[in-house]
Amino acid sequence: MPDTLHDGDALNLDVAASHMVTRIPRVRAEATVDSVLELLRGQVFQCADTIFVVDPQDRLLGIVRINDLFSDGTRLIQDIMVPEHEAVALGDDQEEIASLAIRLNMIAVPVVDWDQKLVGAVPPEALFRILRDEHMEDLQRFAGIAAHDDGPDAALDAPLFNRFSRRLPWLVFGLLASSLITVVMVGFEHTLSSNVSVAFFVPALVYIAGAIGTQAVSVSVRGLSVGEVDIGALLRDELIIGSAIGTALGSLAGLAVMIFFGDVILAVAVGLAVLAGGTVSAVVGFGLPWVFKRFGSDPALGSGPICTIIQDVTSLFIYFALVSLLVL
């Protein structure tokens, strides 16, 4: 019988079955600590950090940390075990394994089959790799880089063409999407040609909207990773924080335009565009990861071109509309 059901590195199945080991200590609840220690002697385990307590049908009753096994030898396992039935299924994604481990402070996560029978455990070594992989994958997704088939660590040493082709798709999509921004600009050609200085503030506006949006995406992705959070409350908070930030930066930007360009209308338009664009960006940046998650995609995709383009288009539209309105 193989030690692991699959070789995770070769198959890159990011599920519990590919991360688990099967040679783990299984004991009965009625046994004494001393008898368990005797039982474990002479056996070779792949994960002895946690002792798994099972019933005669091999169903998980609880776990005992090895730390607690070297205690009073006459005590019964059932008296020192954590009656913790939560486990992952064979097909559960590695993200779920990591979040269960973190939530319950477990260093080895039991794996059960469709019949709730204990089949193995994901050892701490594998949990470390999972946590690190998730970290590296998030960094990639945030930057719009497609995942490498062999996991994030292989990505750095991949052949040049592979690295090139994992980065190109999102950029091409972004380029196509950014034609929408160009459409907005063309739509306000009249405003631009009647006062070319309106164009001066376009890149800075786009930059600020994007920066506020990126912060909101990061808050959102973090919120989703924590698990049970009240999305309504967080969204309301984000609206408040976004408009507060928009007000602060908008006042600053308007003041700067007033001082350096002496144009009241332009100053008001820039200030209000930063305020409105910032608020919209915060809400969009916060909301999109939840939408992605809802449709079964990765929340970190919310930081990609879709979010940026929505923010850019909204900010510029507000800006040009304000300028056109105020100049008229």
Contact positions with a second copy (CB under 8 A) in 62-81: 66-73
Q: Which stretch binds a second copy (CB under 8 A): 52-60, 87-95, 129-137, 288-296?
A: 129-137
CB of 114 to a second copy, least distance (A): 28
Under rule CB under 8 A, residue 37 binds a second copy: yes
Under rule CB under 8 A, residue 240 binds a second copy: yes
Kindly list the distances between the CA atom of residue 328 and the CA atoms of 187, 264, 317, 323, 325, in Å, as whole numbers in the listed order.
17, 14, 16, 8, 5
Under rule CB under 8 A, residue 149 binds a second copy: no
Which residues within the stretch 38-67 sit at the binding site for a second copy (CB under 8 A)? 40-49, 66-67
Which residues within the stretch 182-221 sit at the binding site for a second copy (CB under 8 A)? 182, 185-186, 189, 192-193, 196-197, 199-204, 206-208, 210-212, 214-215, 217-219, 221
CB of 323 to a second copy, least distance (A): 13
CB of 302 to a second copy, least distance (A): 12
Beta carbon nearer to a second copy, 84 or 125: 125
Which residues within the stretch 263-302 sit at the binding site for a second copy (CB under 8 A)? none
Residues touching a second copy: how many (CB under 8 A)? Answer: 105
CB of 116 to a second copy, least distance (A): 26
For a second copy, the binding residue among 11, 13, 89, 256 (CB under 8 A) is: 256
For the chain, the three-class secondary structure string (H helix, E strand, C coil) is: CCCCCCCHHHHCCCEHHHHCECCCCEECCCCEHHHHHHHHCCCCCCCCCEEEEECCCCEEEEEEEHHHHCCCCCCEHHHHCECCCCCEECCCEHHHHHHHHHHHCCCCEEEECCCCEEEEEECHHHHHHHHHHHHHHHHHHHCCCCCCCCCHHHHCCCCHHHHHHHHHHHHHHHHHHHHHHHHHHHHCHHHHHHCHHHHHHHHHHHHHHHHHHHHHHHHHHHHHHHCCCCHHHHHHHHHHHHHHHHHHHHHHHHHHHHHHHCCHHHHHHHHHHHHHHHHHHHHHHHHHHHHHHHCCCCHHHHHCHHHHHHHHHHHHHHHHHHHHHHHC
Under rule CB under 8 A, residue 231 binds a second copy: no
Which residues within the stretch 93-112 sit at the binding site for a second copy (CB under 8 A)? 101-102, 105, 107
For a second copy, the binding residue among 13, 29, 31, 136 (CB under 8 A) is: 136
For a second copy, the binding residue among 89, 167, 258, 265 (CB under 8 A) is: 167
For residues 111 and 16, the answer to whether their CB atoms sit within 8 Å is yes
Under rule CB under 8 A, residue 160 binds a second copy: yes
Under rule CB under 8 A, residue 248 binds a second copy: yes
Under rule CB under 8 A, residue 35 binds a second copy: no
Under rule CB under 8 A, residue 32 binds a second copy: no
Beta carbon nearer to a second copy, 116 or 251: 251
